[in-house]
Structure 1
Amino acid sequence: MSRERILNTAIVLGLIVFPLGAWLAQEPFLITLATKAVILALAGVGLNIALGLGGLVSLGHAAFFGIGGYAMGILASHAQSYDPILQSPFLIEGSKSMPVIWPVAIIAAGLVALLIGALSLRTTGVYFIMITLAFGQMLFFFAISWPAYGGEDGLSIYVRNGFPGLNTLDPIQFYGLCYGVLLIVLFLVHRLSQAPFGLALNAARQSPSRVETTGLSPYRLRLVAFVLSGMVTGLAGALFADLNRFVSPTMFSWQTSGEIMVFIIIGGVGRLFGPVVGAVVFITLEHLLGGLSDYWHIWLGGLLLLIVLFARGGIIGTLTGRKVAHD
């Protein structure tokens, strides 16, 4: 068994042991932190499909994260609204069921990713980065100017959505649900990377001209990867909104896109568990250093500087001593 596989197994077990220990110690806040890390890791896994496999540096993935969050918020807000005159709840079109909300969030994010990708992928390099950033900011300002769903103040969901057989208000059960979703997506992404599509996408990243000679279209390969990436990130956005029971335009901000990319860089670009390690490190630093200073990002910047200069394989690449083609 390779060192990277051993490390991945340790990460999977660690994400079980830590929340269980917090549950036994009756520390729900730590479980919530772990849940946040798992959900953000899922968003990183989504971006890693485009960045790690396709070599697409996107600064607009917060667009899909926000689309997923607002899909959840809009459906949940319409599922049960409050009438101040009748002083009683009344049901209108919507849903409070996660198995219903998730497909809507995934499809909505996928459609937006298809539109953005179809236009953005006609460019390369810094132009692609700036176009994706522009689309994300367009949606950010649209959300701010959308008073029907809170505008700049955001939209509160007072009761977390339900999942059959689970009490999602119980922190450990909601964590288990999010953890299960993460494992499923990681398995699917692993299979995707080993499938003919993943191999062709990797080849298109390294030498598009050679891929064209085989009759494949690098543009179509990248577009499919971009859409799949957006769909996974949209699912993460729906879960994140459910965790906080709140959606706001900040989910669309370029800072959110940057943070998702930071997860991948810290853990290792192109590593299956790179975004997971990066999200855990980010949330840990935020929790431990955020209480000491509002400027804790200085230490995060120092860590990123060290990784970029001396450990381009990220934490996983450094610990395993294994490099990938684009390190």
Structure 2
Amino acid sequence: MIERKYRRIAVTASLLALSAAAWLLPEYYLDVLTTVMIFAILAISMELVLGTTGLVSFGQAAFFGVGAYAVVVLQKYLGVDNLLAVGAGAVVASAAVGAFVGALSLRTRHVYFIMVTLAFAQMMYHIAHDTPLVGGSDGMYLGRELDIASWAGLEFAFEGTTVLFLGALVSLVGCIVIAVVLLRAKFGRALKGIGSNERRMAAVGYLPYRYKLAVFTIGAAMAGLAGFLYCAKHGAASPEMMGWQKSGVVLLMVIIGGIGRLWGAVCGAAIYVLLQEVLSSEDVMGPLAAHWLLLFGIAIILIVACWPKGFAGLVEKWMRPKARETA
């Protein structure tokens, strides 16, 4: 109860701070925080699958890319500029692709599941890279800004650092709420049971395949939402978004944050993005910024070695003695 109380206080304080940041921070910092929140959504989509069922998916980047491409395709070929319409289209497209990939991939287990999701992701990468219909290796670009709404002949564009920041914040909060509700419901408890002992859950009447397919599809939909926000921010979708390296990055974010904890996934995304930003900045690192990849690799090794249970595990270990003293 004590840990939950502190967690609620921390979440409330973070949301208030982020809301205030939209009006107080310079554009550069808002831009970085927007990137953090987009990747936090992507990390949550991975955590939903990995943290409950223990399945390591190397297809999250593919769904991320599908969401981004859906935005550009809807605008270019169907002339859709409405924010809600393209956002819903990105989520539905990613969920549909996720359901198809999951329906086939989930018939395998362990390392074979990893290889099948990796194979599907690489197939989608090469389709995007080699198909002129979606821009080929150059990717596709938004021709116009997305409209938030139209009223009395006036159009409000989804542009500007503050607007994008607030859009990412609302989306992140929505994803966290949905994930918390799902995990605390019977659905989430069943998923954790399947992750612990799938045979026992099947013996008592549950259908593990259906539960895993459902959470896999939900994770793909959230990855598509992150792809939509990324495309709206950068104005483009590229095949590199779908590469297996991007899935590895998302997995690393979850590991850094602590597997099995939603807030850990958010913290892992923040640590990864901010560390990358700091080490590559000449203003902070000086001449060493030219070798930031080497420094980044060393930092990741040290983080994983020093935090075997991730950042969330470190915080919980630190809070436990305080909780006992309070009790």
TM-score (norm 1): 0.87
- Find out whether 1:217 has 2:216 as its counterpart: no
Shift in Å, 1:11:
5.0
CA distance in structure 2 between the partners assigned to 1:35 and 1:160 by the alignment: 18
Alpha carbons 1:19, 1:31 under 8 Å: kept: no
CA distance in structure 2 between the partners assigned to 1:110 and 1:66 by the alignment: 12
Q: Structure 1 counterpart of 2:6, which letter?
A: I
Q: Structure 2 counterpart of 1:201, which letter?
A: L
Check 1:164–1:307 CA distance in 2 against 1; reply closer, same or farther (3 A cut): same
**Gap regions ≥5 residues in structure 1:** 79-92
Of 238, 254, 260 in structure 2, the residue corresponding to residue 270 of structure 1 is 260
Alpha carbons 1:68, 1:235 under 8 Å: kept: yes
Q: Which residue of 1 aligns with 2:168?
A: 178
- Find out whether 1:105 has 2:90 as its counterpart: yes
- Find out whether 1:317 has 2:313 as its counterpart: yes
Q: Which residue of 2 aligns with 1:52?
A: 51
Shift in Å, 1:160:
3.0
SS in 1 for 2:147: coil
Task: Spell out the pairing of 1:47-86 with structure 2 (5 A cutoff).
Answer: 47-78=46-77
Check 1:307–1:3 CA distance in 2 against 1; reply closer, same or farther (3 A cut): farther
Q: Deviations over 1:229-281 (max 9, x none)?
A: 11111111111111111110011011111111111111111111112111111
Shift in Å, 1:19:
7.0
Q: Deviations over 1:91-148 (max 9, x none)?
A: xx23111211122111111111111111111111111111111111111111011212
Alpha carbons 2:202, 2:208 under 8 Å: kept: yes
CA distance in structure 2 between the partners assigned to 1:261 and 1:11 by the alignment: 23
SS in 1 for 2:59: coil
CA distance in structure 1 between the partners assigned to 2:295 and 2:117 by the alignment: 28
CA distance in structure 1 between the partners assigned to 2:173 and 2:121 by the alignment: 28
Q: Whose helix proportion is higher, 1 or 2? A: 2
Q: Deviations over 1:37-93 (max 9, x none)?
A: 101100111111111112110112111001100001111223xxxxxxxxxxxxxx2
CA distance in structure 1 between the partners assigned to 2:163 and 2:73 by the alignment: 24
Task: Spell out the pairing of 1:135-146 with structure 2 (5 A cutoff).
Answer: 135-146=120-131
Check 1:97–1:67 CA distance in 2 against 1; reply closer, same or farther (3 A cut): same
Alpha carbons 1:267, 1:315 under 8 Å: kept: yes
Count of residue correspondences = 308
Check 1:295–1:3 CA distance in 2 against 1; reply closer, same or farther (3 A cut): farther
Alpha carbons 2:22, 2:162 under 8 Å: kept: no
Of 219, 224, 227 in structure 2, the residue corresponding to residue 229 of structure 1 is 219
Alpha carbons 1:19, 1:172 under 8 Å: kept: no
Q: Which residue of 1 aligns with 2:111?
A: 126
Q: Which residue of 1 aligns with 2:184?
A: 194
Alpha carbons 1:19, 1:34 under 8 Å: kept: no
Task: Spell out the pairing of 1:233-312 with structure 2 (5 A cutoff).
Answer: 233-291=223-281, 292-312=288-308
Shift in Å, 1:295:
4.3
RMSD: 2.2
Which deviates more from structure 2 when the two are superposed, residues 285-294 or residues 203-212? 285-294
Check 1:249–1:8 CA distance in 2 against 1; reply closer, same or farther (3 A cut): farther
**Gap regions ≥5 residues in structure 2:** 151-155, 282-287, 320-327
Which deviates more from structure 2 when the two are superposed, residues 222-231 or residues 295-304? 295-304
Q: Structure 1 counterpart of 2:274, which letter?
A: T
Q: Structure 2 counterpart of 1:36, which letter?
A: T
Identity of aligned residues (%): 32
Shift in Å, 1:174:
1.9
Shift in Å, 1:158:
4.3
CA distance in structure 2 between the partners assigned to 1:185 and 1:223 by the alignment: 18
Q: Structure 2 counterpart of 1:6, which letter?
A: Y
Shift in Å, 1:302:
3.5
Which deviates more from structure 2 when the two are superposed, residues 207-216 or residues 171-180? 171-180
CA distance in structure 2 between the partners assigned to 1:173 and 1:134 by the alignment: 37
Which deviates more from structure 2 when the two are superposed, residues 1-10 or residues 54-63? 1-10
CA distance in structure 1 between the partners assigned to 2:290 and 2:4 by the alignment: 35
Runs of 4+ in 1 over 6 A off after TM superposition: none
Shift in Å, 1:14:
3.5
